[in-house]
Amino acid sequence: MFGFLRRPKVRIDIPRLKPRDDSVSYPKVNLAELTPEVLPYLGQAAYVQLAIFEEISDAMNGAPTVGAKQALAPAAGQALDKHERLVAEIRRRVDTPSEVIEPFVAGIDRYRVLVKGSDWYEQLASVYLTAGILDDFFTLLAAGLPGDIGPRCVAVLDADTARQAVAGLLGEAITDDPVLGSRLAMWGRRVVGDTLLVCRSAIHLTGNPQSDEQRIEPVFTEMIAAHTRRMDGLGLTA
């Protein structure tokens, strides 16, 4: 079950787009059969964005300078906007979005505690790295949604430009303080496992473990590769 956490020794032969910044650039993997129903997808994706928002705004609250608060503000606004647009999609289908979201609250709240970090820089690194993975994952998963809801969700999720400023704050601090860099490198490796478990829990398994694994493995391999690129971008060894 935890096979996806191991980095494959042999490179899996899937086409790789060249890394550009840390934006999502995945091969056309087929997650369609693994995508949950529309409402559970939306409920989970909406709560993930709310959690990202709350974590960024908490980091704003604890930021040491006004400049740092300002740098985080657009990322907070973007996560909140993603949340609200996903809730609007839920509301097009049912009257009570919170009932759709509720089943995912406990699990994601538990996850948040695990990846919160013990100080402001760990919190920032968590937000930047885990939100990157989660956005990538829910963007990929959206491919399996029926009708036009998939592309609409991709349009909502597939934007992480506002988090470049978070990377900027981290990168500066890491350059200034190698000890911090080494600590955050460990922390960055630490959070990826818990985050992939959250992703894994969102997948609708078909009941055939072998074919499920065959589909999941390359996707998670690519998600880890994108995570590694984000770590590299911060000057951290993944």
Which residues are at the interface with its own copies (CB under 8 A)? 47, 50, 53-54, 57-58, 60-61, 65-67, 69-70, 73-74, 76-77, 80-81, 83-84, 87, 97-98, 101-102, 105
Cβ proximity to its own copies: between 56 and 125 the closer is: 56
Is 131 in contact with 83 (CB distance < 8 Å)?
no
Is 45 in contact with 214 (CB distance < 8 Å)?
no
Taken in order 126, 128, 129, 130, the sign of the CA dihedral is positive
Phi-psi region of 131 (alpha: psi -120 to 50; beta: other; left: phi over 0): alpha
Least Cβ distance, residue 34 to its own copies (angstroms): 25
How far are the Cα atoms of 21, 52, 94, 111, 132 from residue 75, in angstroms, in the given order? 16, 9, 28, 20, 12
Cβ proximity to its own copies: between 62 and 146 the closer is: 62
Least Cβ distance, residue 146 to its own copies (angstroms): 25
Cβ proximity to its own copies: between 83 and 163 the closer is: 83
Other C-beta atoms closer than 10 Å to the C-beta of 103 total 12
Rg for the chain, CA atoms, rounded: 17
Least Cβ distance, residue 138 to its own copies (angstroms): 18
Cβ proximity to its own copies: between 30 and 61 the closer is: 61
Cβ proximity to its own copies: between 83 and 183 the closer is: 83
SS3 160: coil
Least Cβ distance, residue 65 to its own copies (angstroms): 7
Least Cβ distance, residue 78 to its own copies (angstroms): 10
